[in-house]
Chains A and B, each alone.
Chain A
């Protein structure tokens, strides 16, 4: 080996090392470092202890000043929104429907069902074929009497990442799925448990909002009106997407670049108090290929949902029941920044 060749190899090696350092630095600051999210204000929280005055939902569109402003000044302390609006009946989301799903007070828990006075969850596993490949997915059919049963949680570790089943156990979740990974995204509306955490909209993402009256709406990118969302008192808002149903019908075009077969996680809405969480395993030949976005849209339609929204998929997509992982994520899954979960309502 000539001296010149050694010199070239040394230069290339040094270049490779320095480039790797630059790449890792970029990756850390771009998407590996948790983003700072600050409590920007709290939407009126359902007051469970108060008896209902009327059965109407607590939408108060006549008081625009009581909604959080568009001001992104994070130094402002959160101001709880006071409202004289009537509060919903604690057990009133389903308005008496599906009474047979609930118990009179006792908790009945089996390997795939959970029933109590306020919550009913039925988990089922399904198989289907996509282009001669098997696809395995889980559906958690959820009935809740109170919106506070549908909660979100974020990882409580120093790096803001935890596995779904660990977060589920820490929060006494009955069933939990991965969320929208919002702590590691710079943009995207984020409202969790009635608290506004970020209101910068992502230019390429659809938005899903679960309101305190139990209704869920999905919005295409560019059609999100924050003030109208705030006026209807949101309980959660997720930014990932895409929106999967258009007026209850399956869609063929989506606001996403990840349309191919992948593990998927989606939330579906039937009516106030009745939802489903769908977890599709994928990237595992012979077990489950995963679904294309179009297939997922069709699946949510077949399940009877009127609104549906895709959450973070891939290795992140995981579902836990009773504190244990029930799905089979590719590569064993990975840690996530946040979960959606169902639990007994807040007292």
Chain B
């Protein structure tokens, strides 16, 4: 029971941290996208580094989304609601 609670806390903190990091990367890619339109020669979107950052953003978005879905699935209020309906 205690282990279960620790795991839930760990997942909650991870989910919060990953959400923030995803925001950082998303804003960065958006900035790159708009700067790239001003000066394409600088390769803000097409450089290997930018592509790596886009890939990191994709992974972060994926993990954050999965964690959010799991969290929502285990949401006590929803669980109670499901039990009540069944």
Give A contacts to B, CB under 8 Å: 15, 18-19, 22-23, 26, 29-31, 185-187, 202-205, 240-241, 256-258
Contacts and interface: CB of A to CB of B under 8 A. Distances in A.
Given A23-B31, A26-B28, A202 B41 contact: yes
B65 interface: no
Contact of B28 (A22, A203, A258): A22
Contact of A258 (B24, B39, B47, B50): B39
The CB with the most chain B CB atoms within 10 A, among A185, A187, A240, A257, is that of A257
Nearest first, the 7 A-B pairs at minimum CB distance are A257-B40, A19-B24, A22-B24, A30-B49, A204-B40, A29-B49, A257-B39
24 contacts: A15-B20, A15-B23, A15-B24, A18-B20, A19-B24, A19-B27, A23-B28, A26-B28, A26-B49, A29-B49, A30-B44, A30-B50, A185-B41, A186-B43, A186-B48, A202-B41, A202-B43, A203-B46, A240-B41, A256-B41, A257-B38, A257-B41, A258-B38, A258-B41
Given A30-B47, A204-B41, A257-B37, 18 more contacts: A15-B20, A15-B23, A15-B24, A18-B20, A19-B23, A19-B28, A22-B25, A22-B28, A30-B50, A186-B47, A202-B43, A203-B46, A204-B40, A204-B43, A240-B41, A256-B40, A257-B39, A257-B40
A274 B53 CA distance: 47
A203 to B, nearest CB: 7
Nearest to A30: B49
Contacts of A258: 38-39, 41
A205 B49 CA distance: 19
Nearest to A16: B24
A58 B48 CA distance: 39
B66 interface: no
B46 to A, nearest CB: 7
B41 A205 contact: yes
Contacts of B41: 185, 202, 204-205, 240-241, 256-258
Contacts, number: 47
Nearest to B46: A203
A15 B40 CA distance: 29
A48 B28 CA distance: 53
The prevalent SS among residues of B at the interface is helix
Contacts of B25: 22
A18 to B, nearest CB: 6
B25 to A, nearest CB: 8
A283 to B, nearest CB: 15
Contacts of B23: 15, 19
Nearest to B25: A22
B13 to A, nearest CB: 13
B42 interface: yes
Interface in B35-72: 37-44, 46-50, 53
The CB with the most chain A CB atoms within 10 A, among B40, B46, B50, is that of B40
Contacts of B39: 257-258
Contacts of B42: 31
Contacts of B31: 23
B60 to A, nearest CB: 12
A257 B45 CA distance: 14
Contacts of A240: 41
Interface string B1-23: 00000000000000000001001
Contacts of B53: 26
A256 B39 CA distance: 8
B24 to A, nearest CB: 5
Contacts of B50: 30
Nearest to B21: A18
B24 A187 contact: no
